[in-house]
Every structure is written in C-alpha cells, then in structure tokens.
C-alpha cells in the first residue's frame, strides 16, 4: 500500500473515532438523576417483629376507637330522648364550636348559650301547631340526631353486617313521613343542618371522617339517596323480589312528605312532572337490575302509555325502542311508521 494512501486512511479513522467520542448537543446525555433509595431488606425475624407490633397496635386502635364512638353514641342517644335534652345538647355543641374554640370570654359564651337555647325553645313551642310555618324545631333536632346516629352506625358496620341497617333506616323513614306536618319551614332547615357540613354537633365531636360510608346518604331527608344508595342496593343481593315494592314505597313516601312541605300549587306541579319521572326511573331500574327484564320492559311501556304528554315521553320512547331492538334477534326499524320496501315478484323467473 502506498504511504500516502495509508496516511489518509489512518487520519480518516482517527477523525471518525474522535467524532464518535465527542457528543453533539443534540445527543448529549441527560443530567444524571439521583437513583431511588433502595427499599430496606428485612430479615424474617424483623418482619415477624413488625407484624406482631402492628397487630397489637391495630387491636389497641380499634378498642380506643370503639370506646370513643361508644361514648359519642351514648351522648347522642341521651340527647334524642326528649325535646329539652336535644335543645341543650345542640346548644352546648354550638357554644363549644362558635365560642369556646374561638376563645370568647365566659360572659360571651354564656350569652350565646342563652340566645341559642331561648331561640330553639321559642321555635319549638311555636311549632306545636301542625299549621305553623316554622314547624317544631325540637322535633327536627331529634330527627337530625337520630339520623346522625344511624350514619355513625352504618359507617362502623362491617360489610357482612351492613344489611342490618335496613330495618333501622326503614323505621326512620316511616317516622319521618308521619311527622312531616311538624317539620316544615325552619324546622326542616334545622333537621338538615344537624347532619350538614356546618353542623355544630359534627364539628364539636370531629365526626366528619366517620360519615363517609359507601352506600349511605348523609342527607336525612333525601328519599332518593336513602332508597337508591342503601335499601335498593342491599335488596339487589338479599331480596331482589322486593325491589318493585321498595320502589313503590320510595315514591309514595316522598310524595306524602312533600305534600306536607310544599304549597298546594307547587305540590301539584311536582306530582305532574316528577312522579311520572320517578315511575320511569323505577321501570328502567327494574329492567336493568330487577329479577325480570321482561317485567321491567312492560313497566316502561306502561309509563309511556299513562303519561304520553310528559316532556320526557319522546326520550322514553326512544329508550324503550333501543331496549327492544337490543333484545330482538331481528332489530325493528328505527321508524315503525316507515313503509317497508316491496317484495320483488319472482314468479315466472328462471
């Protein structure tokens, strides 16, 4: 090989190697990151030791938690026992939250307690008449506290015991509807406040984290929530055959309660617009989750026939048509009034 050719090849190889070793801005390596700390490796003895301690701690936590909640539930049950007990209990909670924790003077706290208790008693006495617009505040307090007790019990119930809440909730609903004439106006606001986000009772005992049970509604007057989230949810697995009756109970109870809460013209509008919608919701629920989809479909058709003038009727028709097509081996035309194409006459053809 000639010397000049050899030098050329060597210089080219050196240049190529230099370019390969010198990164360009486009291919420069990213900044080094700190590697994640390696998880500790425990010996079998260490694992057993930690798990044993956790078992003991869990037992202690559950015992302390049970003792704390038992004490709170006992106080709530005592408060529900009478009107005066409920008023005093609510007043004490209000003063604790709105005076003592805000470091108000003893005189200011005493004045607030007197004001709250006097106001509660005045409203309660005014509510002795079923026709009074303010309603019976003490009775409302007792219902609110009663529902708060149920909510705490539901939160603490194990999954396998949750169904035991059903008869308690049904008894509450029955009593709530029966007392509806005395729970109108301001009393209704008081009832909802006891379990609401700004409840002095919940704030006084720091209960908010104990009121998050799945399949349980916190609102003490939400019939839809109480039935859909709890009663119907449990019935799906425990007694599917009872779901149609439960739905009838839900509609009838809410109608009876609203009749006492609303002015007559408002109630008539509610019956006109909302009862058919609830009937449709019942039918579609039974179609989707009931023991017989055919029976649910029949109920859907029945609702459409009974309420053809309802604003939602066109969408009901479309929804039922979709359900029928989905259940048919040969889907029907989307427009039943359309004229089918003529069948070709093939007579005499070869």
Q: How far is CA 341 from the centre of its chain?
A: 51
Whether 229 contacts 148, CB under 8 Å: no
Q: How far apart are CA 45 and CA 52, in angstroms?
A: 11
Q: How far apart are CA 154 and CA 32, in angstroms?
A: 52
The reported pLDDT for the residue numbered 339 is 46
Task: Provide the greatest CA pair distance for the chain.
Answer: 122
Q: Which long-range contacts (CB under 8 A, 24 or more apart) does 175-181 make?
A: 175/143, 176/143, 176/220, 176/221, 176/257, 177/253, 177/256, 177/257, 179/139, 179/143, 180/256, 180/257, 180/259, 180/260, 180/261, 181/130, 181/260
Splitting the chain (350 residues) into consecutive groups of 10 residues, what average pLDDT does each group show? 40 45 51 69 87 83 73 95 93 88 65 63 51 81 97 93 97 98 92 92 92 94 97 96 97 97 95 98 96 95 97 97 86 52 47
Write out pLDDT tens, residues 143-168: 999 999 999 999 999 999 999 999 99
Q: Which residues of 311-334 are buried (b: 16+ CB within 10 A; e: fewer)?
A: eebeebeebbbebeeeeeeeeeee
Output the CA–CA distances (angstroms, integers) from residue 328 to 24, 66, 231, 331, in the order listed: 67, 55, 33, 5
Q: How far apart are CA 136 and CA 128, in angstroms?
A: 6
CA angle 318, 322, 327 (to 5 degrees): 150
Q: How far apart are CA 251 and CA 249, in angstroms?
A: 6
The reported pLDDT for the residue numbered 69 is 86
Give the DSSP per-residue string, 147-176: HHHHHHHHHHS-GGGGGGHHHHHHHHHHHH
- pTM of the predicted model over 0.85: no
Whether 297 contacts 324, CB under 8 Å: yes
- Helix, coil or strand: residue 220: coil
| Residue 210, φ and ψ in degrees, nearest 5 | -100, 10
- The tokens 């010397």 sit on which residue? 3
| Residue 185, φ and ψ in degrees, nearest 5 | 60, -130
- The tokens 């539901």 sit on which residue? 154
Question: What residues have CB less than 8 Å from 135, skipping those under 6 apart?
Answer: 123, 127, 182, 183, 184, 185, 186, 187, 188
């Amino acid at each position: 090989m000639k010397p000049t050719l050899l030098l050329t090849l060597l210089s080219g190889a050196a240049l190529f190697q230099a370019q390969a070793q010198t990164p360009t801005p486009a291919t420069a390596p990213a900044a080094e990151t700190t590697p994640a700390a390696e998880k500790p490796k425990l010996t079998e003895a260490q694992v057993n030791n930690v798990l044993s301690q956790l078992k003991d701690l869990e037992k202690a936590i559950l015992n302390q938690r049970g003792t704390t909640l038992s004490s709170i539930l006992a106080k709530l049950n005592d408060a529900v026992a009478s009107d005066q007990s409920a008023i005093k209990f609510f007043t004490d909670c209000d003063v604790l939250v709105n005076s003592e924790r805000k470091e108000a003077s003893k005189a200011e706290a005493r004045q607030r307690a007197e004001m709250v208790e006097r106001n509660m008693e005045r409203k309660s006495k005014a509510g002795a008449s079923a026709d009074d617009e303010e309603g019976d505040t003490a009775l409302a307090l007792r219902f609110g506290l009663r529902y708060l007790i149920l909510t705490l019990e539901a939160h603490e119930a194990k999954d396998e015991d949750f169904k035991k809440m059903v008869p308690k909730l049904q008894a509450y609903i029955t009593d709530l509807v029966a007392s509806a004439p005395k729970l109108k106006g301001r009393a209704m606001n008081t009832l909802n406040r006891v379990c609401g986000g700004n409840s002095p009772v919940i704030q006084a005992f720091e209960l908010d984290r104990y009121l998050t049970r799945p399949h349980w509604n916190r609102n003490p007057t939400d019939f839809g929530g109480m039935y859909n989230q709890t009663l119907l949810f449990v019935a799906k697995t425990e007694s599917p055959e009872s779901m149609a009756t439960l739905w009838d109970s839900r509609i009838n109870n809410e109608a009876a309660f609203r009749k006492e809460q609303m002015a007559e013209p408002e109630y008539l509008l509610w019956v006109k617009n909302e009862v058919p919608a609830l009937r449709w919701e019942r039918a579609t629920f039974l179609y989707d989750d009931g023991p017989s989809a055919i029976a649910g479909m029949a109920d859907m058709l029945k609702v459409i026939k009974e309420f053809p003038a309802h604003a939602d009727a066109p969408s009901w028709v479309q929804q039922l048509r979709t359900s029928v097509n989905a259940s048919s081996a040969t889907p029907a035309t989307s427009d039943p009034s359309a004229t089918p194409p003529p069948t070709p006459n093939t007579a005499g053809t070869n």
